[in-house]
Structure 1
Amino acid sequence: MKLYFNIEYHAKPGEKLELLIDEKDSANRSYMMFYADDLWKCEVDFFSKSMVYKYQLKDERGNVLREEFVQHHLNFSHNYKEFLIFDEWNNKNFPENYLNNKILRNKLSQFIPRKIAVLKKHTHVFRIEAPIYNPNWEIVLIGNTASLGNWSYENAIHLSQTDFGIWEASVDIPEIQLIQYKYAIFNQTEGKIIDIENGENRSTIPNLQKDVLQIVANHYFRFKSYQMYHDAGVAVPVFSLRTENSFGVGEFSDLKKLADWASKTSLGIIQVLPINDTTANYSWTDSYPYAAVSVYALHPQYISIESLYFSLPNELVEEYQAEKLALNSLDLIDYEKVISAKWKYLKTIFTIEKEKIYKDRNFKKFIKDNEEWLLPYSAFCVLRDKYKTPNFTEWKTHKKYIAGKISPFFSPKNKDYDASMLHVWVQFQLHKQLKDALDYIHRLGISLKGDLPIGIYRYSVEAWAEPDLFGMDFQAGAPPDQFTEIGQNWEFPTYNWEAMKADDYRWWKNRFKALEQYFDAMRIDHILGFFRIWRMPISATQGILGYFYPAVPVLFDEFKARHIPFDFERYCNPFINDEILWKYFGEETFKALEFINKNSNGNYQFKEQFNTQRKLVDYFKDKPEDISEKLTSLCANVLFLTEEKNGKTVYHPRFNAFKTESYQYLSDGERRSIYELYQDYFFKRQDYLWKQKAMEKLPVILNATDMLICGEDLGMIPDCIPEVMDELAIVALKVQRMPSGNIPFYNPKKAKYLNVVTASSHDSSTLRQWWKENPQVTQTYFNQQLNQQGKAPDDLEPYLAEIIMKQHLYNDAMLAIFPIQEFFAMDENLVNPKIDNERINNPAVFPHYWRYRMHINIENLTDNLEFNQNISNWIHESGRK
């Protein structure tokens, strides 16, 4: 077959378009295009019924300047030997393209593709991408020629949905004139066109060539806001769910009852926090859901003992019921008691039933399908329990992961076989229970949205099995923000992106594939990490001693160029003089002298055994913490942080360096020059690099999944991040009281379609708590954001919570998702009398005990008919159903 490609694209002088055809079993075929008649063109010989391809833009040197991230798909009729193809550049950031994901597929699960008949006399095939969520709608075509109905609604050409979201029609257009046309929505129930797409008329040329079929491939239907998918949802950690049947903590089976409530209120999305196994020490510190010991394994706390295929032995039933009653009566989760009790019952059942378990065909299949991660995970769990630590560097055996030495853990002859299989069986049961809950959720037309942590735990299976993929000598965190003045140190290793790139991001693709089993949408925690991460050396304990990585650092020559009298000791070590000592320690200054030495110039320096934050923290580990915090802060009184790069020392300004005591003791000229350098580093020089790094990895990773991807883009946001998120179809998060820019609050009415709007997050206080934190801020919010007169009430009244929710529902944002606590705030009979129990996490406190639990059973919430109906009415009225 002969294919003649044509695409309109405005390139600069020296730039050219290239066509890349995806060959499944070999390298892509490429064709340089030429420019003629205002179009880029090329001719291709092709020998298959279907084609997958994309375009990219190159400069004179052959460097790729821009490429499509969504491929084109075309099918060819064998009635023709030649095809004239008119394409459009396939931008992923059209709002319509966001709909072609798992959420919509699940809501339209009855979709059956239809074929189109392409007759020999036909001249044109019109093809449009239009994923529509209303099953009563279909796409039709009207145009200016007699064969297209002369713009008549009654004579519209009906298109067939040949693939999900792809509509096609084959038409004979004999007229010799410029063809103008538009697509429209036809309501099958009403039997008429209900609306025409936005924008100017589309156009194509007549086809004067016999035996040549002209394919007009359009991207995308120009939807109006009301025609696009909008939804509302509830955000609640699985561990926070409370039902009559749970066991002191939310379980996967409880998601069914949450879905029942969501259905009553017309909520279409359930959003949860990460659900991976975080079991490191079997203590409350394991409650942190962003520190998983495996990115694949599910957390055993979510298993329902009562939903297992095997029953508890009779002698344990009474004990189980008593523990269940006691744990369910608690206001908050007792993590240690819950996990201890569940493992006790799981081990007992497994020991009794293991012969039957080993013979289970489904269990065997689960092992075969997931062995790649199950083997290292189960071995890790056995060794963690054996040596009483997840820190594999402290194990007596298998400190270094060697696949050949780990494989015996799956051998029945191995002494650890039963212990390994216990963990595998628990994962099998968790998988079944979650899939069962997910099937139930989907049957109600509800979607499940997960949460992807940006980092991995330092002592996890992945860090043990594939350390080369991570920067184990560094820590990830976040710079200072409104939550904490000293920044955040998550203690996670950073990523070795070069190693990941070398195998086309296999690790990330596998991770998304695993999550895709359970989730329709995914919130990427701290999506900034794909652009750059806030990196600290192991020697630091506070995030304030971090710097951006990757980054364009400060070179030594820059100090010279700016006439800065660079002195390593003065700029890169803590600056301490007598005045600073007194400011930090006052009358306790004599205690600090144990840790510092006086220099000949009259200033001080830390003794070598105490000259890092980590050394200080380790020293004070088992001692009264009288001055440890002050010493640790003093350790951060530096102007620049150092990094070894390509054999040279480069420099990064410390965050808020101009607020340090060290800065205050510089000369006026030094302060001015260093401040200018600081501004250049943080706000000017990094954007291009970060965009380049994000565009290297994100398109490859995200194209490996059809989940709807949302990015948590809060914090210090450079200009390139919203730009890249928009281009790659990543839905951005908007939190009303965490605005970007110099405004007090974000107005959800200004939200664009590609946003998720919310009033709070799991990292913030709830609305009721926040209302009481700062009366001055609350008063401003009350008057300016809620448009209320007079003095703000001392407490967030239910009517105000209702106004806030409606502000987030009535806008163009694709999703409006609310923490479940904000639903309770709207009803005086549902509010938690213990307001401080409502907070999920406080980022300023590390480690934090994640133990929030709903104070009422979901069953009671589902039975609250008036409350549920009110919510349902608002969602329908706001066009979110």
Structure 2
Amino acid sequence: MKLYFNIEYHAKPGENLELIIDEKDSSIRNHMMFHTENDLWKCEVDFFSKSIAYQYRLKDERGNVLHEEFVQHHLSFPHNYKEFLIFDEWNSKNFPENYLNNKILKNKLNQFVPQKTSVLKKHTHLFRIEAPVYNPDWEIILIGNVASLGNWSYENSIHLSQTDFGIWEASVEISEIQLIQYKYAIFDKKQQKIIDVESGENRLTDPNPQNDVLQIVSDHYFRFKSYQMYHDAGVAVPVFSLRTENGFGVGEFSDLKKLADWANEISLGIIQILPINDTTANYSWTDSYPYAAVSVYALHPQYISIENLDFKLPKDLVGEYEAEKNELNSLELVDYEKMISSKWKYLKAIFNVEKEKIYKDRSFKKFIKDNEEWLLPYSAFCVLRDKYKTPNFNNWKTHKKYIAGKITPFFSAKNKDYDASMLHAWVQFQLDKQLKDVIEYIHGLGISLKGDLPIGIYRYSVEAWTEPELFGMDFQAGAPPDQFTEIGQNWEFPTYDWEAMKNDNYKWWKNRFKALEKYFDAMRIDHILGFFRIWRMPVSATQGILGYFYPAVPVVLEEFKARHIPFDFERYCTPFINDEILWKYFGEESFKALEYINKYSDGKYQFKEEFNTQRKISDYFKESNNDLSEKLISLCANVLFLTEEKNGDAVYHPRFNVFKTESYQYLSDWEKRSIYELYQDYFFKRQDYLWKEKAMEKLPVILNATDMLICGEDLGLVPDCVPEVMDELAIIALKVQRMPSGNIQFYNPKKAGYLNVVTASSHDSSTLRQWWKENQVLTQTYFNQQLNQQGKAPEDLNPYLAEIIMKQHLYNDAMLAIFPIQEFFALDENLINYKMDNERINNPAVFPHYWRYRMHLNLENLMESSEFNQKISNWVNDSGRN
């Protein structure tokens, strides 16, 4: 076959367009295009297959890639033609056809049957538009300025066939030899009429007088006024927080069915949950932290339903089980330790009784075979963690270093740890089975499930054990100071070695997304800023304040010299302590501090070597943490710059909020001014290009591996390049009304653009009712300016005001409006939890925090609140979010 490619693209002198064809045998063929008049680029290709995948790329004279498509074009060719004239448009990731054609669409149109389009030998043009339609009663039609296209007549329009999800095609004969103008429109089959026509200028294509050549008009970026039509509302709730009459003191996967029933009752189309991966490290309450998974693949056993297993409980345990179930289910909050201990007791009992049947189960055998790559190391990890009473593989007596060949025997029947390994594998099999059953039920209601992908991995996880080369184990990830905490956050996760991950084209990340895609239609990427840069601390630090951006363009010694800053390592990079500072921190207890600090003859002080890092102080006071230790740790952060070794040389990073340190206050005025200018340049100017480059290096590759709708949690100190990249890659941004970016107090959801999720609160924030009482001055401003209310704000957030807030978030252009379940309760006096502080899920300023929030009402109670449910349903439907 002969393929003649044409694409209009404005390039600068010296720049060239290149066509890259992705062959089925994994080889890539590059074809240089040549430039003709009117910015048209052409290329002729001999091809031998009936379908093709390709993309365009712009290069400079040196061969550097300047711009490239992140979404491939796909075309199929009818058998009765040998030559094809292809007219393309640049395919941007943020075109609606690319971000709307996701798993949510396939979920909502699960009965989709592809149609065929007939291409006759006499046809001259094949029109093709990518336009995912979320309404099954709608289809795409074509109207145009020539008689063959109906002369703009709606009655004589050309109906396109949906040949694949979101792909519409029509083959026509256009005999007129003139410039063809046309537009696409939406036709409602029920109403039997056109309901929307593309806005903007007419589309154009050339006539095709050539015999035996089919002209393929491959269009992109539909422009229907009402077409940003996927508008949904949803509820956000951690699975562990669900409460049902038949629960076990914690939410289980099976409880999601009842949540979906309620969501369906009030016309919600999406359910958002927190991470559900296994976090079992010590079997203590600290394992309740859902963002510290010991495996990025394994599901958490806390979500398993004992009553929905393939096998029943032994009869002699039924009474004990029922008693524990009733006790745990009556609690206001999750008792993590008791709950997980009891679940494992019953899981082991069932496994030991039914072991022979389990081992013969063909479905279980298949699950092991399909998932062995991650399941084997996970199961071995669990066995070794339990045997040595720690997830810290560095402290194990055997298998400290992961060697695949030495782990394989864990799945051998002759191995002494075989039964223990199989127990963990079987629990994963049951969890997977229960969750997939739930998802099928949720999808049957037309509801989508949105998951949450943590940005980091736990330091003592399966992945850290099996693939340490992919992580910076000598560092910790966290976040700089923000609205949550003045000292920043230290998550204690290792950082990523992105260069190592790049070497195999980010296989680790692709596999992770593919695993999540088995369950979820949409995904929230926790702290998406981590793909641009991470806030990195040495392991010697305990507080996020002692971190710096990585990667970053650091400060080098020459810059200090150029600004005439008298750099001195001891003065700038170690804690500055004098008599005044010592007294400010310790007052009359200064003498106690001198046990840990040396005083020198020049009146300066320095921490003793055994206490000269936050980690050393923290470890020393581990058993008796007190006010003194906290002050010593805080004093450790009284530095101006943090040092890092780069290519054998020392480089420097200004400490966050350096101008607020006591050390800064004792500098001369001109020194303060110079360091402040350097600080502003480091944090707000010099990094943007680097961070954008790093994000665009990895995000397109990783995100192209999934069909999920991708949302990014972009709160905190957000660089200018982040919204640019998110827009270019069509990553849905998060807008929390009381956590705006920029110099405004509140974000107005009415101004939200389409590619946004709007919400009133997050799992890291206080609830609306709690927040209302935190700062009366701020609340008053919000009451008057944001809610447009007169007079003094009430002491408590009442249902009337909660309704205004919810409607502000429903009635706007944002794709998604998702509300924590606590904010639904705030809408009705009969549903309010009067123990308001029990409703907070997490406070990032407190680490580690006990994640134990439970709904105070059963889901069954919510289903019975018919008047309330109808009210919410009316709002959702009236706002067009269904």
Q: TM-score band, normalised by the shorter chain?
A: over 0.9
Within-5 A mapping of 1:553-702: 553-702=554-703
Q: Which runs of 4+ in 1 moved over 3 A?
A: none
**Displacement, 1:368?**
0.2
Mean Cα displacement is larger for which, 116-125 or 736-745?
116-125
Q: Residue 452 of structure 1 aligns with which residue?
A: 453
Q: Check whether the contact 2:185–2:224 (CA below 8 A) recurs between aligned residues.
A: no
Within-5 A mapping of 1:411-490: 411-490=412-491
Q: Residue 22 of structure 2 aligns with which residue?
A: 22
**Displacement, 1:97?**
2.5
Does 1:37 pair with 2:32? no
Q: Residue 855 of structure 2 aligns with which residue?
A: 854
What is the CA–CA distance in structure 1 between the aligned matches of 2:650 and 2:36, rounded to whole Å?
Answer: 52
Q: Check whether the contact 2:97–2:166 (CA below 8 A) recurs between aligned residues.
A: no
**Displacement, 1:209?**
1.5
**Displacement, 1:227?**
5.1
What is the CA–CA distance in structure 1 between the aligned matches of 2:534 and 2:773, rounded to whole Å?
Answer: 33
Q: Deviations over 1:566-616 (max 9, x none)?
A: 001100000000000001000000011111112342211111110000000
Q: Check whether the contact 1:139–1:158 (CA below 8 A) recurs between aligned residues.
A: yes
What is the CA–CA distance in structure 2 between the aligned matches of 1:522 and 1:792, rounded to whole Å?
Answer: 37
Secondary structure at the residue paired with 2:17? strand
Q: Residue 61 of structure 1 aligns with which residue?
A: 62
Q: Deviations over 1:365-411 (max 9, x none)?
A: 00000000011000000000000000110111111101111111000
Q: Residue 371 of structure 1 aligns with which residue?
A: 372
Matched AA of 2:638? N
What is the CA–CA distance in structure 2 between the aligned matches of 1:720 and 1:95, rounded to whole Å?
Answer: 21
What is the CA–CA distance in structure 2 between the aligned matches of 1:739 and 1:493, rounded to whole Å?
Answer: 29
**Displacement, 1:278?**
0.4
Q: Check whether the contact 2:14–2:61 (CA below 8 A) recurs between aligned residues.
A: yes
What is the CA–CA distance in structure 2 between the aligned matches of 1:277 and 1:79, rounded to whole Å?
Answer: 55
What is the CA–CA distance in structure 2 between the aligned matches of 1:225 and 1:135, rounded to whole Å?
Answer: 15
Consecutive unaligned residues of structure 1, counting only runs of 5 or more, are: none
Q: Residue 773 of structure 2 aligns with which residue?
A: 772
What is the CA–CA distance in structure 2 between the aligned matches of 1:185 and 1:312, rounded to whole Å?
Answer: 56
Secondary structure at the residue paired with 2:860? helix
Does 1:2 pair with 2:2? yes
Q: Check whether the contact 1:97–1:220 (CA below 8 A) recurs between aligned residues.
A: no
What is the CA–CA distance in structure 2 between the aligned matches of 1:749 and 1:342, rounded to whole Å?
Answer: 46
What is the CA–CA distance in structure 2 between the aligned matches of 1:50 and 1:37, rounded to whole Å?
Answer: 29
Q: Check whether the contact 1:96–1:222 (CA below 8 A) recurs between aligned residues.
A: no
Q: Check whether the contact 1:226–1:879 (CA below 8 A) recurs between aligned residues.
A: no
**Displacement, 1:225?**
3.8
Q: Deviations over 1:787-810 (max 9, x none)?
A: 111111000000110110000000
Q: Check whether the contact 2:554–2:651 (CA below 8 A) recurs between aligned residues.
A: yes
Q: Check whether the contact 2:526–2:713 (CA below 8 A) recurs between aligned residues.
A: yes
What is the CA–CA distance in structure 2 between the aligned matches of 1:781 and 1:98, rounded to whole Å?
Answer: 34
What is the CA–CA distance in structure 2 between the aligned matches of 1:244 and 1:871, rounded to whole Å?
Answer: 24
Q: Deviations over 1:825-876 (max 9, x none)?
A: 0000000010000000000000000000000000110111111111111111
Q: Check whether the contact 1:609–1:615 (CA below 8 A) recurs between aligned residues.
A: yes
**Displacement, 1:228?**
1.4
Q: Residue 349 of structure 1 aligns with which residue?
A: 350
What is the CA–CA distance in structure 2 between the aligned matches of 1:799 and 1:277, rounded to whole Å?
Answer: 40
Matched AA of 1:697? K
Q: Check whether the contact 1:95–1:753 (CA below 8 A) recurs between aligned residues.
A: no
Q: Residue 242 of structure 2 aligns with which residue?
A: 241
Secondary structure at the residue paired with 2:739? coil
What is the CA–CA distance in structure 2 between the aligned matches of 1:859 and 1:870, rounded to whole Å?
Answer: 18
Q: Check whether the contact 1:234–1:817 (CA below 8 A) recurs between aligned residues.
A: yes
What is the CA–CA distance in structure 1 between the aligned matches of 2:258 and 2:494, rounded to whole Å?
Answer: 38
What is the CA–CA distance in structure 2 between the aligned matches of 1:357 and 1:624, rounded to whole Å?
Answer: 48
What is the CA–CA distance in structure 1 between the aligned matches of 2:774 and 2:226, rounded to whole Å?
Answer: 37
Matched AA of 2:639? V
What is the CA–CA distance in structure 2 between the aligned matches of 1:13 and 1:601, rounded to whole Å?
Answer: 65
Matched AA of 2:683? F
Q: Check whether the contact 2:96–2:222 (CA below 8 A) recurs between aligned residues.
A: no
Secondary structure at the residue paired with 1:726? helix
Matched AA of 1:613? Q
Matched AA of 1:740? S
Q: Deviations over 1:490-519 (max 9, x none)?
A: 000000101111011111111111101100
Q: Residue 872 of structure 1 aligns with which residue?
A: 873
Q: Check whether the contact 2:208–2:215 (CA below 8 A) recurs between aligned residues.
A: yes
Q: Residue 841 of structure 1 aligns with which residue?
A: 842
Secondary structure at the residue paired with 1:802? helix
Secondary structure at the residue paired with 2:560? helix
Secondary structure at the residue paired with 1:448? strand
Q: Deviations over 1:49-85 (max 9, x none)?
A: 0100000110110000111011000111222111111
Matched AA of 1:618? D
Q: Deviations over 1:216-245 (max 9, x none)?
A: 110022122465110000000000000011
Change (3 A) 1:569 1:227: closer
Q: Check whether the contact 1:234–1:818 (CA below 8 A) recurs between aligned residues.
A: yes
Secondary structure at the residue paired with 2:311? coil
Q: Residue 263 of structure 1 aligns with which residue?
A: 264
Secondary structure at the residue paired with 1:278? coil
What is the CA–CA distance in structure 2 between the aligned matches of 1:246 and 1:400, rounded to whole Å?
Answer: 40
Q: Check whether the contact 1:711–1:731 (CA below 8 A) recurs between aligned residues.
A: yes
What is the CA–CA distance in structure 1 between the aligned matches of 2:623 and 2:330, rounded to whole Å?
Answer: 35
What is the CA–CA distance in structure 2 between the aligned matches of 1:281 and 1:227, rounded to whole Å?
Answer: 47
**Displacement, 1:781?**
0.4
What is the CA–CA distance in structure 2 between the aligned matches of 1:596 and 1:521, rounded to whole Å?
Answer: 53
Equivalences, count:
881
Q: Residue 305 of structure 2 aligns with which residue?
A: 304
Q: Deviations over 1:154-208 (max 9, x none)?
A: 0001111111101011111111111000000111112121110111110011112
What is the CA–CA distance in structure 2 between the aligned matches of 1:557 and 1:263, rounded to whole Å?
Answer: 63
What is the CA–CA distance in structure 1 between the aligned matches of 2:878 and 2:316, rounded to whole Å?
Answer: 55
What is the CA–CA distance in structure 2 between the aligned matches of 1:582 and 1:839, rounded to whole Å?
Answer: 37
**Displacement, 1:279?**
0.4
What is the CA–CA distance in structure 2 between the aligned matches of 1:363 and 1:93, rounded to whole Å?
Answer: 41
What is the CA–CA distance in structure 2 between the aligned matches of 1:767 and 1:226, rounded to whole Å?
Answer: 33
Q: Check whether the contact 2:4–2:42 (CA below 8 A) recurs between aligned residues.
A: yes
Consecutive unaligned residues of structure 2, counting only runs of 5 or more, are: none
**Displacement, 1:623?**
2.6
Matched AA of 1:25? D
What is the CA–CA distance in structure 1 between the aligned matches of 2:176 and 2:627, rounded to whole Å?
Answer: 90
CA RMSD, 1 decimal: 0.8
What is the CA–CA distance in structure 1 between the aligned matches of 2:28 and 2:393, rounded to whole Å?
Answer: 43
Secondary structure at the residue paired with 2:645? strand
Q: Check whether the contact 1:480–1:543 (CA below 8 A) recurs between aligned residues.
A: yes
Q: Deviations over 1:532-580 (max 9, x none)?
A: 0000000000000000000000011000011111001100000000000
What is the CA–CA distance in structure 1 between the aligned matches of 2:281 and 2:329, rounded to whole Å?
Answer: 24
Q: Check whether the contact 1:225–1:812 (CA below 8 A) recurs between aligned residues.
A: no
Q: Check whether the contact 1:653–1:678 (CA below 8 A) recurs between aligned residues.
A: yes
State TM-score, norm by structure 2. 0.99
Mean Cα displacement is larger for which, 91-100 or 196-205?
91-100
Matched AA of 1:578? D
Q: Residue 164 of structure 1 aligns with which residue?
A: 165
Change (3 A) 1:624 1:477: closer
Q: Residue 213 of structure 1 aligns with which residue?
A: 214
Matched AA of 1:105? K
Secondary structure at the residue paired with 2:142? strand
Change (3 A) 1:227 1:63: closer
Q: Residue 145 of structure 2 aligns with which residue?
A: 144
Mean Cα displacement is larger for which, 337-346 or 192-201?
192-201
What is the CA–CA distance in structure 2 between the aligned matches of 1:535 and 1:599, rounded to whole Å?
Answer: 33
Q: Check whether the contact 1:96–1:223 (CA below 8 A) recurs between aligned residues.
A: no
Matched AA of 1:20? I
Q: Check whether the contact 1:129–1:165 (CA below 8 A) recurs between aligned residues.
A: yes
Within-5 A mapping of 1:249-398: 249-398=250-399
Secondary structure at the residue paired with 1:203? strand
